Amino acid sequence: MLQGRKWFDRMQPQTLQIATWLLYINGFFLLVELFDGGGVLHYFRERYGFGIFLGLAIVASYVVGAYLMANERKLGWKISVTAAATPFVLTYVAYSQLSAPLRYRLFGASLISFAFDVALFALLLHPQSKEHQRIWYH
């Protein structure tokens, strides 16, 4: 028992719980995308020699960030925020190299994927999430 607090006082808010699940799910689908093709990670894998390592590092950042965040580590939250920002950067870089219109550079090929990326980023940076990780994570 925590000193003076009940166990349920320390539970993660829904924003962080949902973000943790989205990180795990996105990590799985990014791994599939990396090897199966059709996405930005596959583009980097095919175009550059270091692309496979970049893709695996990004997939690992999703999974490690989620795991550490679930175990209340500040480093996990920081890794998760960085991982959640990578789709925006990689999409912009990949579509810029292809000289695609601005719409593709900003949103990618799928607005649904973009919406989930924005949702994950918003969940991690929500004031309730930031306050919880500031107080409880170590």
Whether 19 maps to a domain, the answer reads yes
Instruction: State how far the Cα of 15 lies from the Cα of 126, in Å rounded to an integer.
Output: 7
Sign of CA dihedral 42, 25, 93, 39: positive
Please state the domain count of the chain.
1
Q: 1 pLDDT band (50/70/90 cuts)?
A: very low
Whether 2 maps to a domain, the answer reads no
Whether 32 maps to a domain, the answer reads yes
Percent of the chain with pLDDT over 70: 93
Whether 7 maps to a domain, the answer reads no
Whether 40 maps to a domain, the answer reads yes
Whether 4 maps to a domain, the answer reads no
Whether 109 maps to a domain, the answer reads yes
Q: Where are the alpha helices (DSSP H) in the chain?
A: 14-36, 40-47, 51-70, 74-97, 102-107, 111-125, 127-136
Q: What is the pLDDT of residues 74-120, one digit of tens each?
A: 999 999 999 999 999 999 999 999 999 999 999 998 999 999 999 99
Whether 115 maps to a domain, the answer reads yes
Residue 126, domain extent: 14-136
